[in-house]
Structure 1
């Protein structure tokens, strides 16, 4: 039985609110409108473009003094450490703590710990946070915003998904990668592939356009990743996959017809039981006709431009 508890903090733009909540539901089975979430499920904060920190709770108490006493039990050996107070902003209904008070809290806890403090390059980082009148202390993991470094690719399309949306879509499709085989059969220049591969997701790519396949391969290699991207129509996919990601080609740029959109979804139904579709059009009727059912969805916005993210089984 897993008795661990994790506290996640989030940073997201207003337009990303619904997309973030769909990612939460995929990871944890529930969501929250808050910028803080508790779960027994461990997710690396580097995976999500919205997660800021993850605290693996070691100790909890009604008062800060309970934490300062409990940390004396920690044996860090020769490891250096630092303590970070996470209340730098309002966390749900808990108001932020000012800088001087946060530094005081960090010192109080650090002085009671058995180890060598190092504020610059510590070997271990711990966090402390107060939420809803209770205090929590534990191991802290802070997101490195890996997705940010994928924004500048050698090959780019103005219509491609942003790296943040692409990373969230990969997480929504494959929240728990172990044993899961995925495919992006309309991969374009590989925006989703880069994000998925960088998270260790077992995914292959494919596109009917030879030129964009070459661009996708170069983008993947540019970031030191390895992935299989082949050329050909979705109709020639023969293997079976646990999940398929389809960023539906846009009418405005590819002149794809409604019948061709339907055919893509029908072909996906042939080799997968689950598909995550990104579309600028409302295609609910096509999804039903292809034999899928929409089990969850959201709208990802960027200014006045919107995309629908649909989870179908």
Structure 2
């Protein structure tokens, strides 16, 4: 059994994304989940899971209970250890320093040497609400999203999606080694960058020459030398220059507002036709928008397997639709 520590406060969304790297994910407390199996390599590319633990046990939110787990557990590890305790979302009245002392003492009593600077193994004791997970860290996600802030890219336009969210949406669409991911309205290429960084080949499309050129520049900057294939096309999202089933997943951020800036299309027609074209080229997808497109997605040949409303700021709520071809 494994424990998962989530990032942020949208546990249902985090759990769904965690499902690309873990099997049998079950939420047990705010910010905490358990899983039957974990792929450490895939977990490293998750946005909303911080780390995975090989669980020694699960108990109530009491330092003495956590120590009892360490004392009773079968431990087959060798080398130095460190204990790190954390309370998630201020949801438990626990002294983390006391927990680290108690569990560290239990490990020393079992013959382990403590190394707080560079341990061979780290024991995490995580508290949330009335629950506690105790386990060895076996995988951690790479938290380097701030290095790719939209304003720091070679090509920037206002309204670009945050890298952490782009990564999560790419993961939900099936990004990963051996996959090919399409963004048919790619803008500055943020989703494609994140999909490429977890090993996907990427295909971008945008109706505006300026955006297509800028996305190519950004992809070259972040993915150059990575070994992933990348291509960006200037074209119409409702009539893609791609064969049927050309990609494994599609992600796009629909235009916001009531009208499309693309000639010949009302916004309803643009998004509806783009959804139908996406269903032609991919078996799964994620649509992000400023309102629900559930009915349009179904009409376009998709099944909406999950949906979320995610607040970006006071005036913007993103509607996320997780899609599978019907």
TM tier, smaller: 0.7 to 0.9
Deviation per CA, 1:193-222: give whole Å up to 9, x if none. 111222223433233333322322332333
Report the CA distance shift for 1:100/1:274 in structure 2 as closer, same or farther (over 3 A).
Answer: closer
User: Which residue number in structure 1 is paired with residue 62 of structure 2?
Assistant: none
Query: Separation in 2 of the partners of 1:253 and 1:17?
Result: 33
Quote how far apart the aligned CAs of 1:90 are: 6.0
Residues 258-278 of structure 1 show CA distances to partners (whole Å, capped at 9, x for unaligned) of: 222222122122222222111
Q: Spell out, residue by residue over 1:238-287, the C-alpha distance to the aligned partner (whole angstroms, 9 max, x if none).
A: 25222211222335785242222222122122222222111223333322
C-alpha distance 184-36 of structure 1, shift in aligned 2 (>3 A): same
Q: TM-score, normalised to structure 2's length?
A: 0.77
Which stretch of structure 1 is more off in the superposition, 212-221 or 165-174?
A: 212-221
| Aligned twin of 2:303 | 293
Which of 68, 73, 88 does residue 71 from structure 2 map onto?
Answer: 68
Q: Out of 162-171 and 280-289, give the one that drifted further.
A: 280-289
- How many Å separate the matches in 1 of 2:259 and 2:144? 30
Greater CA deviation, 260-269 or 59-68? 59-68
Alignment of 1:232-243 (within 5 A): 232-233=234-235, 234=237, 235=239, 236-238=241-243, 240=245, 241-243=247-249
Q: Deviation at 1:82?
A: 2.0
Where in structure 1 are there 5+ consecutive unaligned residues? Answer: none
Note the aligned Cα RMSD (angstroms): 3.2
Alignment of 1:1-313 (within 5 A): 5-13=1-9, 16=10, 19-20=13-14, 22-24=16-18, 32=27, 34-42=30-38, 44=40, 45-58=43-56, 64-68=67-71, 70=73, 73-76=75-78, 79-85=79-85, 87-89=86-88, 95-112=92-109, 114=111, 116-129=113-126, 136-151=134-149, 152-174=152-174, 177=176, 179-224=178-223, 225=226, 226-233=228-235, 234=237, 235=239, 236-238=241-243, 240=245, 241-251=247-257, 254-256=260-262, 257=266, 258-303=268-313, 304-313=315-324
Q: Partners of 1:68 and 1:238 in 2: how far apart?
A: 59
Deviates most, 162-171 or 179-188: 179-188
> Relative contact order (C-alpha < 8 Å, sep 6+): which is higher?
1
Q: Distance in 1 between matches of 2:282 and 2:147?
A: 31
Residues 135, 183 of structure 1: alpha-carbon distance in 2 compared, 3 angstrom cutoff: closer
- TM-score, reference length from structure 1: 0.80
User: What are structure 2's unaligned runs of at least 5 residues?
Assistant: 60-64
